[in-house]
Every structure is written in structure tokens, then in C-alpha cells.
């Protein structure tokens, strides 16, 4: 079994449940653990995989709370760091359809520093670059870029999810696109939402978008389409794989559950080439990941809503 290293933010989500999408009208918030790479690491661990989280939290009660949750989920937090800067916060409102609105108060996540001792541990394992904040500057961005280089030199399987947030890149979309392209070029697997695929490819048509991404270098593309399922594309085939029907309450962790489940399955195989060459295997993997994402939307809070093996197998 390969280890999956998840790099990026771990933060507090203050969630306004069932109070509409307008954050300005929310009065009550629940404290939840969040941050896309942390969610992915928990998704992998819950399904029996080996995940390691690399990120930075504040040396404060929120940071302690967050690391304890990851530890309880059996995520390896030996490479997590603490900073004097306060733990990053996100305020999230969720409407009746499970759709959300975000406001970030950025803190310690940007302080992550490079750890040269990790390079040797990356060899023949999996690196997942799925942070929403990593390309915003600070020490985290420099560290993120160095770990990408390390992963390439150590023959790691590279996974990339841009996790685009409109509020974080308002009037700077061109910068976001420019910073994402090297990751698309070097990744074996890229996971996009519909909006991300169109933004980063410059194409409205998804077949054309996939062609752009394949020409850039990525070998497996998955574009999540909500209730419609997921578009899976390789150089040899392209198909949309349906998802299961659910009544969503909160879509916050669905994409993270999806990619976590997919990476957990890939981690069970010693050679990536065997996965890439097997259309039936890849199709079944994505179908299972669709189910994981759908189940996660049925409750509030990303990590506590992530499915177990028993739920996926039922």
C-alpha cells in the first residue's frame, strides 16, 4: 500500500446551517474541522488507506482541536507544524440545497515551511496537491512548489485539485490560471469541478477542455458534475460515470471525499501504469468515488460526514 501525502491547509469552518446562503444574515455558527487537504487525508484513512497530512496550524486552542481530530481519524500528523500566527478560519453559509458561500480569515496555513527530510519518504508514494490557499503566496506557496519538484524527482504519483474559490481570486483569475498550469503539466491525475475545468482550459466544451489538459501533460482527468456524476478522461477513452441519488444537506466535503476515495483505491496498486491501462478498473474506481462524494453531502460538516468502508460497501 502506498502512502498518500496531503499538503495544504487545515482550518476551522464556522458553519451557518439552514440559515440561507447570505452570510450577512447568519446568526449562529457551528465549529467544524475543515480544509480540503485535511478532508482528503481523513477520507483516505477512513477507507483503510495510509495518509499523512503536511500543513500548519496556530499554536492555539483551535490548532490543538484540529490536530486532535486528524489524529483521531488515524491520519499521520508527524509532519504537521504549529505557528505563532492564529489558526486559519473560514466562515461558511449553507442554503437549503446544500450550496455554500465562503469568507476566509487567513492565518497559520500560509506559514508552512519546507522540510527536506520528507523528500526521501515521497519515493514511489502519492502526493496530493489539493489546497485552496497554497497559491496565494507566503511560505506555503514556496513549500508547495518545492514538494512538487521533490515528488517528481522521487517518482511519486502526483495528484492535483486546484480548489478554486471565487472570493480568494476575485480580479486575479489570470494569476490563478498561470500558477495552476505547472501542476496540471506535472500531475498524473487532475480533479476539476466544471467551473475549474472551463476556467483553466479556456474552453466551455468539456471534451475540448480535456484535450487541452491532456496536451499539457496530465494523464487522468476527472471533472465532477454534481448529481450528473463525473467525466473521466484518459488519452484512450472518455465517459461520464453516473453517481447515486441523494438528498444533499451540505456539499462542503463532497469533492474531497471523491478524490480521497479515488486516491485510496489507487494507493492499493503498485504500478500506476496498470491502473491507467485498465478502463474497467478506472471506471469502477470513479463510480465508487462518486458514491463517497454523494454520501458525504447527506450530513453537515466534511470530516464527520465522510463515509466508512461499510457505508461504501453496502
pLDDT at 287 over 90: yes
Question: CATH no. for residue 168?
Answer: 3.40.1190.20
Q: At residue 47, does pLDDT exceed 90?
A: yes
Once rounded to an integer, what is the mean pLDDT over residues 234-247? Answer: 94
Q: How far, in Å, CA of 184 to CA of 217, rounded?
A: 7
The answer to the question of residue 91 being in a domain is: no
Provide the domain count of the chain.
1
Each residue of 71-102: pLDDT tens digit? 999 999 999 999 999 999 988 887 766 566 77
Tell me, yes or no, whether 14 lies in a domain. no
Taking all residues of the chain, what is their mean pLDDT, rounded to a whole number? 94
Does some domain include residue 106? no
Residues 252, 256: Cα–Cα separation, whole Å: 8
Among 183, 174, 178, CA closest to 216 = 183
Nearest-angstrom CA–CA distance, 184 and 179: 10
Mean pLDDT of 108-126: 98
* Domain range for 51: 3-8+35-76+111-313
Q: Is residue 154 part of a domain?
A: yes
The answer to whether position 214 is within a domain reads yes
* Edge-to-edge strand ranges of the sheet holding 30-34: 30-34, 11-16, 89-94, 100-105
Residue 268 domain-assigned (yes or no): yes
Q: How many CB atoms lie within 10 A of CB 299?
A: 14
For residue 300, pLDDT over 80 is answered with: no
Q: Is residue 306 part of a domain?
A: yes
Which H or E run contains 165?
A: none
Instruction: Establish if 89 belongs to a structural domain.
Output: no
At 150-195, the pLDDT tens digits run: 999 999 999 999 999 988 999 999 999 999 999 999 999 999 999 9
264-281 pLDDT, tens digit each? 999 999 999 999 999 999
When pLDDT is cut at 50, 70 and 90, the band that residue 284 belongs to is very high
Amino acid at each position: 500500500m502506498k502512502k498518500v501525502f496531503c499538503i495544504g491547509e487545515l482550518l476551522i469552518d464556522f458553519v451557518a446551517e439552514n440559515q440561507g446562503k447570505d452570510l450577512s444574515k447568519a446568526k449562529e455558527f457551528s465549529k467544524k474541522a475543515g480544509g480540503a487537504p485535511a478532508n482528503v487525508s481523513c477520507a483516505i484513512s477512513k477507507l483503510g488507506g495510509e495518509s499523512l497530512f503536511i500543513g500548519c496550524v496556530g499554536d492555539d486552542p483551535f490548532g490543538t482541536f484540529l490536530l486532535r481530530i486528524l489524529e483521531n481519524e488515524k491520519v499521520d500528523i508527524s509532519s504537521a507544524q504549529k505557528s505563532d500566527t492564529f489558526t486559519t478560519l473560514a466562515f461558511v453559509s449553507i442554503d437549503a440545497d446544500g450550496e455554500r458561500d465562503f469568507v476566509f480569515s487567513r492565518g497559520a496555513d500560509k506559514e508552512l515551511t519546507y522540510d527536506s527530510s520528507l523528500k526521501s519518504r515521497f519515493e514511489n508514494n502519492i502526493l496530493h496537491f489539493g489546497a485552496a490557499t497554497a497559491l496565494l503566496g507566503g511560505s506555503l506557496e514556496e513549500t508547495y512548489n518545492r514538494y512538487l519538484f521533490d515528488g517528481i524527482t522521487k517518482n511519486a504519483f502526483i495528484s492535483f485539485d486546484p480548489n478554486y474559490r471565487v472570493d480568494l481570486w476575485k480580479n486575479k483569475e489570470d494569476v490563478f490560471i498561470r500558477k495552476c498550469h505547472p501542476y496540471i503539466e506535472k500531475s498524473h491525475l487532475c480533479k476539476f469541478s466544471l467551473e475549474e475545468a472551463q476556467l483553466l482550459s479556456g474552453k466551455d466544451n468539456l471534451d475540448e477542455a480535456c484535450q487541452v489538459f491532456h496536451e499539457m501533460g496530465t494523464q487522468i482527468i476527472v471533472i465532477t458534475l454534481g448529481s450528473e456524476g463525473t467525466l473521466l478522461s484518459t488519452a484512450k477513452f472518455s465517459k461520464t460515470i453516473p453517481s447515486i441519488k441523494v438528498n444533499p444537506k451540505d456539499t462542503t466535503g463532497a469533492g474531497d471525499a471523491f478524490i480521497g476515495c479515488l486516491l485510496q483505491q489507487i494507493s492499493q496498486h503498485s504500478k500506476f501504469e496498470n491502473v491507467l491501462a485498465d478502463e474497467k478498473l478506472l471506471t469502477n474506481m470513479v463510480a465508487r468515488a462518486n458514491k463517497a462524494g454523494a454520501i458525504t453531502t447527506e450530513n453537515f460538516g466534511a470530516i464527520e460526514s465522510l463515509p466508512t468502508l461499510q457505508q461504501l460497501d453496502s
